[in-house]
Structure 1
């Protein structure tokens, strides 16, 4: 499995959704997050 290709496809797929959700404001550090960004993590 090519993980880079999978991650690139996920990024492409969610691009239209960025900024459409609501930040978790009950945690101060998350309330200040940029809603136009996202993060991914891979655990193997």
Structure 2
């Protein structure tokens, strides 16, 4: 996740995109954790 924009005028936009990337990563990780828990239980 090393997406850093060059230029100070895009600081707020880069912060918003970093938030989107982290939220997407969390949304992608959560189902994998649930599947792993289900496989370990059953």
| TM-score range normalised by the length of the shorter chain | 0.3 to 0.5
TM-score (norm 1): 0.38
Compare CA radii of gyration and give the structure with the larger one: 2
TM-score (norm 2): 0.39
